Amino acid sequence: MTITRAAVIGAGVMGSGIAAHLANAGVSVLLLDVPGGTPGNAPGRRNALAAGAIQRMLKADPAPFMHKRFARRITPGNTEDDLPRLAEVDWIIEAVVEDLDVKQDLYRRIEAVRRDGSIVSSNTSTLPLARLVAGLPARFVEDFLITHFFNPPRYMRLLELVAGPHTRAEAVATIRDFADRHLGKGVVMCHDTPGFVANRIGSFWLQCAVVAALDLGLSVEEADAVMSRPVGIPKTGVFGLLDLVGLDLMPRVDASLAAALPKDDAYHAIRRPWPLLERLIAEGYTGRKGKGGFYRLDTSTGQRIKQAIDLKTGTYAAAAKPVLESLQMSRSGGLKALVEHPDRGGRYAWSVLSQVFAYAAAHVPEIADTIVDVDRALKLGYNWKYGPFELIDRLGPAYVARRLAEDGREVPTLLRTAAEAGAFYRVEGGRRRYLEVSGDYRDVPRPEGVLLLEDVKLASTPLARNGSASLWDIGDGVVCLEVHTKLNTIDPDVIAMIETAIRTITGSDAYRALVVYNEGEHFSAGANLGLALFAANTGMWPMIESMVEQGQKAYRKLKGAPFPVVAAPSGLALGGGCEILLNADAVQAHAESYVGLVEAGVGVVPAWSGCTELLSRLAADPKRPGGPMPPVIAAFETIGMAKVAKSAFEARDLGFLRESDGITFNRERLLADAKARALELAADYQPPAPAELVLPGPSGKATLDFAVRDLRAKGVATEHDTRVAAALAEVLTGGPGADHTEPVPADTVLALERRAFMALVRTEATLARMEHTLETGKPLRN
């Protein structure tokens, strides 16, 4: 069964977000909520709740839609007039209030109109499936399951799937496959237990972390500093996370979970009244959506000063950087150095983590079949770098078991088994294996069609490697170029590895294609600004000039290589990272790719062929207006304004992706899809002919200069902005010798790129922008 039409009932934050993400995947969606007015009123009024939700999402940031036009795939309606239309859809998702009676009443109405074989699911996060379907017809029960999305549905990769004993296997397989391939979800099969997996462990962790901070006398800042990056958890930590999700949600989740859990569950032992939290909620301090929470921004002095609350007194003061020796020790000694340190930071880390370790180990296989499911749920649902069992392995199961015993606490059977076996995970024969409850090891499963570089690395050695990049054989004659610098920035070693990749493939009968890909958070944040700034501040201009020239040459060799090159970005692909995409024969992009030529933001122009290639792409696009000026104007706006596409679909609009380039929703399928595209191109590959561009020359530059002067006069552009824009205009219009009657060779534009870059990088304003960007991650306007 294929999902082409769906309905979401409930147009609140979650329901509308789910509808938007279904629309992102190309599904036609019917979004229903309770009606406004009375029957016979205008449809706009009757459908006001659903229609209003769509309009709010179009203005939201971060955007639920990957492209604004996808909103047209959602049809608003209401649960009185439009319920019969459920007969048209393949999948019906209920996302209404967490009230069993309300849900069951809705289910009976759904059952009366839906067609045979359609699938119904609930987005509940608290109610057991057995209670949801109790007393309902067998046909409904067989087609029903729980699909628990995490908020926001577009960005959070976890989908918890719960099937009942009577749920059709085909229904489960259909939703699991669709969510994986089309929604990009990591699907975790959960048992029908309270909180499922992620929230069961995650809520326990949050409670432990709050209580331990209070008991051990840590400040908000100290607790968040310890319970974040040092343990592989996002920098929001604990109190920052509560501010993010909303303080008012915490008591509701706590009460719901406590009511559903067995009386002997360890969660009950860590619950306690917290008057400070109650006071904050009552006064409107509900976190970022309210007046603040554990942190707030004080603007009373005209400045934005971050403040943190004192957990003892409830008063706010300027947030202070924590000074704990345990944090310093953890930077060099890792997790064990942190949990062994005697200061309050170390005691806090062990108190929280040890309870979470014991709790997780005690509830497998109750909540899920395997430790892999639990680790995956916390990594995808809470953005942990490591799941609880992976964290235990970093300390050693025997170590954790011994310390629990020394603390006088019970050591769960599964943890004792791991202590005897040596680890929860191990590598055998080039494959990662996990410990089962039985004590046996099995291969960590991968869905069919998934190819991960982390698995390739376990079973092989690189074809070539330096400090910044590596080459890997990923099978079938395809080589993968992996960048592994900080933020995967491009430096001379990366450039050297591009040259090595070209020589390796060209000089061998064994290889026939190249994929540029990595499994870091970002494809590439661009050139290494720190290296460029160091060279500039020390007057090493020949070094910068060499970097520009060598980088441009390497990128052009990629463009003209006698084999296909496929770029497979995910996350940021900025500056030099974007230029790799522009020089590739094809791009297979993760849907969450954020692409742009942002060099103008730091006061220079793209010089690794970004200007040349974007112009060429825009000029060749049959959907765009003809003539020499339209592609120049489009490139000038995109580069000059440092536009960044906020999805792979937006990247097509800006010209960074072609219509023929592919988009993959599931990050774990990206490498396999890119490899398949490379093999497809390799079958009958011919390198592209050198480009020639028809450019307007001085007359076109005059037009662009006039527009920039107007912006300067209005105060929109700074003096340095106009300098950068003038240099960019000269590059894009082909220089003083260009004439729209004669094509301009690409090499001419490339030379203009290099010259403009070197002229701008020598200015004090550009160096100030570079330094500011490195320090803050944000561009400076000067």
Whether residue 654 is found in the same domain as residue 733: no
Contact 441, 434 (CB under 8 A): yes
Per-residue pLDDT for 652 more than 70? yes
Mean pLDDT of 13-32: 98
Q: Order of strands, edge to edge, in the sheet holding 441-443?
A: 425-428, 431-435, 441-443
Per-residue pLDDT for 758 more than 80? yes
Instruction: Give the CATH number for residue 233.
Output: 1.10.1040.50
- CA–CA gap between residue 388 and residue 503 (Å, rounded): 43
Can you give the pLDDT at residue 37? 64
Residue 203 lies in a domain: yes
Query: Which stretches of 608-718 are DSSP H helices?
Result: 610-620, 629-640, 648-654, 670-682, 698-713
pLDDT confidence tier of residue 775, bands split at 50, 70 and 90: confident
Final residue of a structural domain among 189, 219, 248: 189
Q: Order of strands, edge to edge, in the sheet holding 662-664?
A: 464-465, 469-473, 478-483, 513-516, 565-567, 586-590, 662-664
> What SS3 string covers 126-183?
CCCHHHHCCCCCHHHHHCEEEEEECCCCCCCCEEEEEECCCCCHHHHHHHHHHHHHCC
Whether residue 222 is found in the same domain as residue 179: no
Final residue of a structural domain among 128, 156, 189: 189
Can you give the pLDDT at residue 404? 98
Domain count, the chain: 4
Can you give the pLDDT at residue 263? 94
- CA–CA gap between residue 648 and residue 627 (Å, rounded): 27
pLDDT confidence tier of residue 740, bands split at 50, 70 and 90: confident
Contact 248, 281 (CB under 8 A): yes
Whether residue 655 is found in the same domain as residue 513: yes
Whether residue 311 is found in the same domain as residue 384: yes
Q: Tell me: the pLDDT tens digits for 663-673?
A: 999 999 999 99
What DSSP assignment string belongs to 259-270? HHS-TT-GGGGG
Q: Tell me: the pLDDT tens digits for 350-362?
A: 999 999 999 999 9
Mean pLDDT of 638-658: 97
Whether residue 711 is found in the same domain as residue 668: no
Nearest to 305, CA basis, from 314, 296, 313: 296
Q: Tell me: the pLDDT tens digits for 93-135?
A: 999 999 999 999 999 999 999 999 999 999 998 899 999 999 9
> What is the enclosing helix (H) or strand (E) of 566?
strand 565-567
Can you give the pLDDT at residue 713? 87
- CA–CA gap between residue 332 and residue 326 (Å, rounded): 10
Mean pLDDT of 72-86: 97
Q: Tell me: the pLDDT tens digits for 552-611?
A: 999 999 999 999 999 999 999 999 999 999 999 999 999 999 999 999 999 999 999 999
Asked if residue 153 has a cis previous peptide bond (ω within 30° of 0), the answer is no
Can you give the pLDDT at residue 39? 61
Mean pLDDT of 618-630: 90
Residue 593 lies in a domain: yes
Amino acid at 254: D
What DSSP assignment string belongs to 273-341? --HHHHHHHHTT--BTTTTBSSEEEE-TTSS-EEEEE-TTT--EEE------HHHHHHHHHHHHHHHH-
Report which of residues 421 and 250 the model is more confident about: 421
Whether residue 26 is found in the same domain as residue 93: yes
Q: Supply angle C-alpha 91, 97, 100, rounded to 5.
A: 85
Can you give the pLDDT at residue 664? 98
Can you give the pLDDT at residue 41? 60
Can you give the pLDDT at residue 669? 98
β pairing state of 144-149 and 119-122? parallel
What DSSP assignment string belongs to 512-560? -EEEE---SS-SB--B-HHHHHHHHHTT-HHHHHHHHHHHHHHHHHHHH
pTM of the prediction? 0.95
Amino acid at 552: Q
User: How far does CA 241 lie from the centroid of its chain?
Assistant: 17
Amino acid at 16: S
What DSSP assignment string belongs to 102-128? HHHHHHHHHHHHPPTT-EEEE--SSS-
* Domain ranges, residue 541: 461-598+644-688
Instruction: Give the CATH number for residue 541.
Output: 3.90.226.10
Provide, rounded to the nearest whole percent, the portion of the chain with pLDDT above 70: 99
Can you give the pLDDT at residue 715? 85
- CA–CA gap between residue 89 and residue 27 (Å, rounded): 10
Whether residue 146 is found in the same domain as residue 284: no
- CA–CA gap between residue 403 and residue 397 (Å, rounded): 10
Residue 450 lies in a domain: no
Q: Which residues pair with 516 in a beta bridge?
A: 481, 567
pLDDT confidence tier of residue 716, bands split at 50, 70 and 90: confident
Per-residue pLDDT for 300 more than 90? no
Can you give the pLDDT at residue 711? 87
Final residue of a structural domain among 189, 206, 229: 189
Q: Residue 739: count other Cβ atoms within 10 Å of its Cβ.
A: 15
Amino acid at 693: L
Residue 623 lies in a domain: no
Residue 636 lies in a domain: no
CB within 8 Å of 186: residues ≥ 6 apart? 157, 158, 159, 180, 376, 380, 666, 668
Contact 73, 31 (CB under 8 A): no
Burial 225-237 (b: 16+ CB within 10 A, else e): bbbbbbbbbeebb
Whether residue 79 is found in the same domain as residue 178: yes
- CA–CA gap between residue 729 and residue 703 (Å, rounded): 9
Q: How many CA atoms lie within 13 A of 63 on its CB side?
A: 19
CB within 8 Å of 362: residues ≥ 6 apart? 266, 412, 414
In angstroms, what CA-CA distances link 368 with 196, 257, 373, 444? 8, 17, 6, 15
Q: Helices 388-395 & 325-340, crossing angle to 10 degrees?
A: 90
Average pLDDT, the chain: 95
Contact 1, 174 (CB under 8 A): yes
pLDDT confidence tier of residue 38, bands split at 50, 70 and 90: low
Can you give the pLDDT at residue 286? 93
Whether residue 300 is found in the same domain as residue 364: yes
Residue 454 lies in a domain: no
Whether residue 576 is found in the same domain as residue 677: yes
- CA–CA gap between residue 688 and residue 616 (Å, rounded): 12
Amino acid at 494: V
Range list of β-strands (E), 436-542: 441-443, 464-465, 469-473, 478-483, 513-516
In angstroms, what CA-CA distances link 204 with 199, 348, 610? 8, 15, 49
Over the Cα atoms of the chain, what is R_g? 28
Whether residue 357 is found in the same domain as residue 467: no
Q: Tell me: the pLDDT tens digits for 258-289?
A: 999 999 999 999 999 999 999 999 999 999 98
Per-residue pLDDT for 781 more than 90? no
Contact 85, 40 (CB under 8 A): no
Residue 436 lies in a domain: no
Q: Helices 610-620 & 719-733, crossing angle to 10 degrees?
A: 60
Q: Is 367 helix (H, G, I), strand (E, B) or coil?
A: coil
Can you give the pLDDT at residue 778? 78
Residue 444 lies in a domain: no
Instruction: Give the CATH number for residue 129.
Output: 3.40.50.720
Mean pLDDT of 430-457: 96
Q: Tell me: the pLDDT tens digits for 138-173?
A: 999 999 999 999 999 999 999 999 999 999 999 999
Whether residue 741 is found in the same domain as residue 759: yes
Q: Which two three-digit tokens encode residue 526?
A: 């661009």
Q: Tell me: the pLDDT tens digits for 501-555?
A: 999 999 899 999 999 999 999 999 999 999 998 998 888 999 999 999 999 999 9
